[in-house]
Amino acid sequence: MRLEHLEIDARPRPHWMAVDLGHALLRRHWRTTYLAWWGPWLLASILLWLCMPQGWMWVASLVLWWLRPIFERLPLFILSRAVFGERVTVRQAWRAWPRQLGGWFRSLTWWRPVMVGRGLYAPIWQLENARGTFAAQRRKVLGARGAYGVAAWFGVACAHFEMALQFAVYGALGLVLAQPESANPFAFLAGHYQDSALLESAGFLCYVLTAGVIGPVYTAGCFGLYLCRRAELEGWDIELSLRRLAARRNGVAPRGAGMLAALLLGVALWWGAPAPAYALECPPPDEVVAMRQGRGPAIDARQAELRRQLDDVLAREPLRNWTCIETWVPEARKNDDNNWLADWLRKHLKGGRGDGISANVLKIALIVLLVVILAWLLWRYRGPLVSALQLQTRRTAAPPTEVCGLDIRPETLPEDVPDTVMRTWREGRQREALALLYRATVSRLAHDHGIELVAGATEGDVLAACRRSRLAGSLPEAAERGCTGVTEVWRNAAYAQRWPAEAQLAPLLAQWRVAFDGARA
């Protein structure tokens, strides 16, 4: 693979940006790509239109849709060469197309045409010629990290674009064929639904045109995603950077200067006569060994050699993620005259046979001492601690006086809220009545039940706060049901102008009285 001839910026990038990269590549080579696609696509469409009997044109559209994975190999062949600077003509693409159909029967198996993200895996089958287990492994690796999901959603988006273009072509046909006095472009086709031949021919023509436009777009987008996934997995940007550094070094440093520098370095090393350094040879950690053993057997000798070279490179100090360090460890003293406490504990606690008992006893003694000191401090400063806790309780934020533009102060509410709401409703002031009911509900929640609300809380925020308090056990279930019912009625009336009937309002007021006024009584 000639990475130095890449015409794109090979670097890891977000998946949808990679799809846009494929579209940019298609825009640069759109003429060759579309001419190569439309040649066999149009020929196949004409043959199917001539061979299919009357009433079976939908089968022709289905056959074209089923054969699309074969036609998608033409744009993929052209773009895969163009990305490395190789210009392919339409004639060359058509002549190479039969050789690109290796495994054409597999392309028409039941799962590939219906797989909306197949464009990401098409280069594996066509460009890498992967088959069997190796192809499955490649699909798993390339489709990881959400890449296949993006390809699938891109396929769904392309299908919707095709549908929109089909409606547009239908409208254009109806606009051309309809009578001048008809203002609806679909009136002609809708009025001639008995003519099945006309409708089937129009549907087949619309599918041929729209699929011929969107097909290369889908292939190019998925190919851009495939390139970026390979660049991310194989480190194309790192390799290109290293190649540029090597070329710059070879171009700047002449051979004579390199030989002189090597000679001076050798003299300096010989003159300095440094002390011999002992290289450390540590075995790799267990996780590295497990990772190497879990890769499975190599497919061939070439892959085994590549794995060996890769392991050698990753085992070097700059790249490996583990370090071998030589440290000094103090030698344990067998006869320590200063360790009189440990000797005394061994002598008196286990008769001289308890090696290591001194450390355990000291640990327990220190823990007990720490607990005693902590208990004494709590008891000694119990007064300031209690005062601080009470002060923190008193500092709890007071309920707001206004929520979402509604005054929720208890002194602004009537004594009997349900009766006032019903009287206001019967006077014809429905919005004022429901606003009073909702305002009283929020006021009861904030002042009587301690629900924490802010001035800008919406209806959804109030419901969420009620739900949290209900789960915490600080709000009765009846209050939560009452708040839910009042909020639903208020939303429908305030935002959708759907007013409840008086027969629905009376049970709601009775429920509100039980939920909020009953708790006060």
pLDDT computed for residue 354 by the predictor: 45
> Rounded to whole angstroms, how far apart are CA atoms 243 and 226?
23
Backbone angles phi, psi at 407, to 5 degrees: -80, 115
Backbone angles phi, psi at 514, to 5 degrees: -70, -40
> Rounded to whole angstroms, how far apart are CA atoms 520 and 288?
68
Instruction: Quickly count: other Cβ atoms within 10 Å of residue 445's Cβ.
Output: 26
> Rounded to whole angstroms, how far apart are CA atoms 31 and 438?
65
* 95-107 pLDDT per residue, tens: 887 777 766 566 5
Backbone angles phi, psi at 520, to 5 degrees: -70, -40
Instruction: Quickly count: other Cβ atoms within 10 Å of residue 224's Cβ.
Output: 26
Return the percent helix, strand and coil in the chain, to nearest 5: 70, 0, 30
What parts of the chain have a pLDDT lower than 50? 252-257, 272-279, 336, 351-356, 394-395
Q: Which two tokens stand for residue 182?
A: 């008809």
Instruction: Let me know: does 482 contact 438? Beta carbons within 8 Å.
Output: no
Nearest Cα to Cα of residue 208 among 69, 46, 364, 334: 46
pLDDT computed for residue 274 by the predictor: 44
Handedness of CA 112, 115, 116, 120 (dihedral sign): negative
pLDDT computed for residue 2 by the predictor: 63
Q: Is the pTM of this model over 0.75?
A: no
pLDDT computed for residue 355 by the predictor: 47
Q: Could you tell me the CA-to-CA distances from 229 to 80, 235, 394 in Å, in that order? A: 15, 10, 59
> Rounded to whole angstroms, how far apart are CA atoms 304 and 210?
48
One-letter identity of residue 184: N
> Rounded to whole angstroms, how far apart are CA atoms 208 and 224?
25
* 275-291 pLDDT per residue, tens: 444 445 677 777 777 77
Q: Tell me the three state secondary structure of residue 407.
A: strand
Instruction: Let me know: does 123 contact 75? Beta carbons within 8 Å.
Output: no
